[in-house]
Every structure is written in structure tokens, then in C-alpha cells.
Structure 1
Amino acid sequence: MQSRLRVQGHPIQPMLVTFPYGLFVSAGIFDLTDVIGGPAFLGEVGYWTAVAALVSAALTAVAGMVDLWDVPGDRTRATAIAFNLVNLATAGLFLLACLIRADSPQRGASVALLAVEVLALAVGGVGVRLGARLVRRFDAGRAAETTSLDALDGVAGSTVEIVTPTRSLRGR
């Protein structure tokens, strides 16, 4: 299976998904620090970090939807749909927290909002596991697609086996 959106042969969505997850975790850390008594500006930093995460999650979702068209109609497709739905749920919970905070003057976090964010991060953890499963499946399929010695670029001093449907080449 080949993704439609690729950079130098690598699918874009697995690269993009790290941004919203990293920003969501960072927002949670900023908000936790705000709730336990850190400087007040950390609550606003957490809010704007969550907003940035939502923007990057939207871009990642677009890449995921484009890739979903090419996923075969088997368990891989079901996993890809579940992955996208879990990511949507994570973003939805953070969106809820951001909308509630948008009206407050300093956009600080509260214990209840922090609990929603922790729940969102737990849901996101399920997404990470599903994403890892998808990457393993796509990499297994990609290994069978490699048919030229271009895969050896940058590999020096190691033995690489390239498996094609008709023969096996060993390079050193």
C-alpha cells in the first residue's frame, strides 16, 4: 500500500501526527503546572499550546483522510478508521477544554479542565498504539514493494537484503 501524500518515499501522516500529540502533552504539562501553583501565565501558555495542537490535528486529519482512500478494505482499514476516530476524540476533548477556557480573562486551567485533558491524553494513548500498529503493517507491505537498489542509498558497510517478487538480491 502506498500513501498518496509522501515525502521522499515516506508517508506524511505518521510524521504529522507527532505534532498534535506533542503539543497536547505540552499543554497538559503547562496546565498541570498552573493548577499546582505555578506562575499564572503558564495557564495561558497551555491554552495557546492546545490551540496550536488543534490546528496541527486538523492538518493531520486531512492527511489521514487522504490516506484512508488507499487503505485496503480489510482489518487494516478498520484500524485506520479507528485511529482517525480516536485522534478526533482526543482533539474533541481538547477543543471542549479550549472553548470553556476561551471566555476566562487569563485562560487559566482548573482541576476539572485538567481532568478532561488527562482523559484526552489517555484516549490519545490508544491512538498512539493504533498508529504504531498501522505503521508496522504499512512497513511490512512496503518491504515487499522495494524492487531497486535505490533502497541502499546511504547504507555503508551493512548487509541489506532486498526481496522482490521474483528474486532476492544481496548487497554489501
Structure 2
Amino acid sequence: MQSRLRVQGHPIQPMLVTFPMGLFVSAAVFDFTDVIGGPAFLGEVGYWTGVAALVAAALTVVAGMIDLWDVPGDRTRRTAIAFNLANTAMAGMFLVACLVRAQSPQRGASVAILIAELVALAIGGVGVHLGARLMRQFDAGRTEAGSFDALAGSTVEIVPPRS
């Protein structure tokens, strides 16, 4: 299976998934620090980090839906749908948390919001597992990246420093 959205032969969606996941984890860390009594501005940083993660997640979901058109209708398709649903559920829970926080003037986190974010991250962890399974299925016929055969055809140009 080849993805429709590619950069130099590599599918875009697996690259995009790392951004919202990392931002959601960062938002939860900032919120945890805010809840345990850290500086108040960390709650607002957590809020805006969550908003940035939602924008990145929206782009990732669009790329996932485009890639889903080309997935064969077997177990791989079911895994791809579950992967996209897990990521969408995680983003949906963070969206609700951000909407609740948007009403407060300082946008600080509460214990309930932090628990919801941790549950969302657990759902995202399932999505990461499913995404890894998809990558193994798609790359089954390709050369392992850890071998020297994977470097065949690659070129590296070494430019000497200017004097």
C-alpha cells in the first residue's frame, strides 16, 4: 500500500502524528505542574499547548482520512480505522478540556481536567500501538532500516568548509 500523501517516498501521516501526541503530552505535563501548585502561568501554557495540539491533530486526521481511501478492505483497514478513531477520540477529549478552560480568565487546569487529559493520553497510547502495527504491515516487504541495504541508492554529499 502506498500513501497518497508522501514526502520523498515516506508517508506524511506517521510524521504528523508525532506533533499532536508530543504537544498533548506536554500540555498534560504543564497542567499537572499547575494542579500540584506550580506557577499559575503554567496552566495557561498548558491550555495554549493543547490548542496547538488540536490544530496539529486536525491536520493529522485529514491526512489519515486521505490515506484511508487506499487501505485494502481487510484486517489492515480495520486497524487503520481503529487507529484514526483512537487519535480522534484523544483529540476530542482534549477539545472538551480546552472548551471548558476557555471560559475561565486564567485558563488554569483542575484535577478533573487533568484526569480527562490522562485518560485521553491512554487512548492516544492505544493509537500509537495501532499506528506501529500499521507501519509494520505496510513496510513488511521493504528493507529494514537497520541494515546497510537500506542505504543503497542514498547519497550523502560532504561539502568542505570554506576558508
Regarding TM over 0.5, the answer is yes
Secondary structure of the residue that 1:71 maps to in structure 2?
coil
Structure 1: where are the runs of 5+ without partners? 144-148, 157-172
Q: Deviations over 1:114-141 (max 9, x none)?
A: 0000000000000000000000011114
| TM-align CA RMSD | 1.7
1:116 equivalenced with 2:116 (yes/no): yes
Aligned partner of 2:15 in structure 1 is 15
Between structures 1 and 2, the one with greater strand share: 1
Aligned partner of 1:103 in structure 2 is 103
Structure 2: where are the runs of 5+ without partners? 144-148, 157-163
1:49 equivalenced with 2:56 (yes/no): no
Secondary structure of the residue that 1:140 maps to in structure 2?
coil
Deviation of 1:142 (Å): 4.3
Secondary structure of the residue that 1:72 maps to in structure 2?
coil
Which 4+ residue blocks in structure 1 deviate beyond 6 angstroms?
none
Residue 47 of structure 2 aligns with an amino acid whose one-letter code is Y
User: What does 1:1-172 correspond to in 2, within 5 Å?
Assistant: 1-143=1-143, 152-154=152-154
Aligned partner of 2:159 in structure 1 is none
Distance 1:30 1:69 in 2: 37
Residue 51 of structure 1 aligns with an amino acid whose one-letter code is V
* Rg comparison, structure with higher value: 1
Q: Return closer, same or farther for 1:102/1:29 CA change in 2, 3 Å cut-off.
A: same
Percent of aligned pairs with the same residue? 77
Q: Return closer, same or farther for 1:124/1:150 CA change in 2, 3 Å cut-off.
A: closer
Aligned partner of 2:160 in structure 1 is none
